[in-house]
Amino acid sequence: MKRMPMATLVFFFSIFLCSTCGWAQETVKVGVILPVTGEKAKFGEIEKKSFEMALEEINAAGGVNGKKLEFLFEDDTGRPDVARSAAEKLITKDKVVMLGGGYGSSETFAIAGVAQQNGVPFLVSTGSDNKITAQGWEYVFRLNQPAGDYFKGLETFLTEVVKPQSVAILYENTNFGSSQSKEFQAACERMKIKVAMCEGYQSGGVDFKPLLVKVKQANPDVIYMISYLMDASLLMRQSMELRVTPKLFVGGGAGFTLPEFMQNAGKASEMVFSASLWYQTLTYPGAKEYYEKFVKKYNMDTEYHGAEGYASACVIADALKRAKGMSADEVCKSLAATDLMTVFGPVKFVSYNKMSNQNRLPTYLVQWINGKLELVWPGDAASKSFVYPIDWAKVWK
């Protein structure tokens, strides 16, 4: 058998290397960190599916200037140390051009620190603690509203409709919970509403009755709860058992807007209000279409967390398309210049209230009515009229 000349072997090997390099260049890698397992997995699931749905559409439309966009997902398990390690892996080993995702505030803050230290852009989709964009970090951007804005829609409802004299605040002892509770206390002072009680609790408890007995004794007009899914469901079930009956139960977003809240809390979820950052009937272009496509594709509901994930994917693709190169600095410059309408609303990064690279959007009030989450405030955007006052004896019979 005649051997192939060395020169010919070298020639074909060089062609193979060049073609391999070409294939590698066809993919633009972005790292996305979300809680896929652990107690926050339901949030991570809805966001991951939304990222993936958007990715399919982006690549079907030509990707990033003809190159395929690729999301490398990492699971932070709801733990800051795991989130930090995931960010370091994506940056140093996978060589991503930027990071996205970030659900829990503690995990998101950890990711942001790694991104800033390594000079890699990071677009936050959900982590809301004000301090995430209040560090002066030039590589960290946030699409969603910060914790201090979550209850802006609720404020006008309280002052114009409920006019309460007192409020009790219950919050999970996390960055998200403590940050929002402090901001809401300040808002109550502005509204001249007495804070009868403000108390944190450890997540994952199975008995909130001692805490709720104290709330019942304080007898506030409004109970404002900042909780993730399982705690939110349990707090409402045990409030019903103890017949804690304020004028209003309100959640601070998070666990109170997921479909599983209604499934887990049962009739204790009825008439509960919650702050919300988005709703599918808002007039943002593509909002209703996103909702309907998601429901059809995955046979499950979506809400503001999913819209954040979908919009984040679109912002990432837009920034990468406009970037003059794939270096961190060029991508960062492109992100900073973002001016894009998404299903979640307009995205433009500005500075306000000591925060920088922060998108600024309104917030809303939703209510569980007959087993469905409805947008009830402000009135000009409502999908259904709010129910108030509430006869809890009738609701819980």
267-311 confidence digits (pLDDT tens): 999 999 999 999 999 999 999 999 999 999 999 999 999 999 999
Token reading at 262: 């209604």
372/239 same-domain check:
yes
The answer on pLDDT for 12 being more than 80 is no
Please state whether 305 falls in left (phi above 0), alpha (psi between -120 and 50) or beta.
alpha
260/292 same-domain check:
no
Whether 204 maps to a domain, the answer reads yes
Whether 105 maps to a domain, the answer reads yes
At 21, is the pLDDT very low, low, confident or very high (cuts 50, 70, 90)? very low
Token reading at 203: 């997540």
140/153 same-domain check:
no
Whether 153 maps to a domain, the answer reads yes
| pLDDT reported for residue 5 | 58
| pLDDT reported for residue 254 | 86
| pLDDT reported for residue 30 | 98
55/172 same-domain check:
no
Number of independent structural domains in the chain: 2
Pairing status of strand 372-377 against strand 194-201: unpaired
At 16, is the pLDDT very low, low, confident or very high (cuts 50, 70, 90)? very low
| pLDDT reported for residue 203 | 84
The answer on pLDDT for 396 being more than 80 is yes
Cα 108–Cα 75–Cα 32 angle in degrees, nearest 5: 60
Tracing tokens 């979640």 back to the chain, one arrives at 344
Whether 124 maps to a domain, the answer reads yes
The answer on pLDDT for 261 being more than 70 is yes
Tracing tokens 């909780």 back to the chain, one arrives at 227
168/256 same-domain check:
yes
Coarse DSSP helix, strand, coil percentages of the chain, rounded to the nearest 5 percent: 45, 20, 30
104/246 same-domain check:
no
371/323 same-domain check:
no
The CATH number for 191's domain is 3.40.50.2300
131/181 same-domain check:
no
Whether 126 maps to a domain, the answer reads yes
What DSSP state is assigned to residue 33? E
265/385 same-domain check:
yes
268/292 same-domain check:
no
CB 265 within 8 A of CB 322: no
248/373 same-domain check:
yes
> Tell me: the pLDDT tens digits for 45-84?
999 999 999 999 999 999 999 999 999 999 999 999 999 9
Whether 9 maps to a domain, the answer reads no
83/171 same-domain check:
no
* Coil, helix or strand at residue 246: coil
CB 106 within 8 A of CB 33: no
Host domain of residue 214: 149-276+364-395
Whether 12 maps to a domain, the answer reads no
Lowest mean pLDDT among 17-26, 129-138, 283-292, 342-351: 17-26
Whether 16 maps to a domain, the answer reads no
What is the Cα 5 distance to its own chain's centre? 60
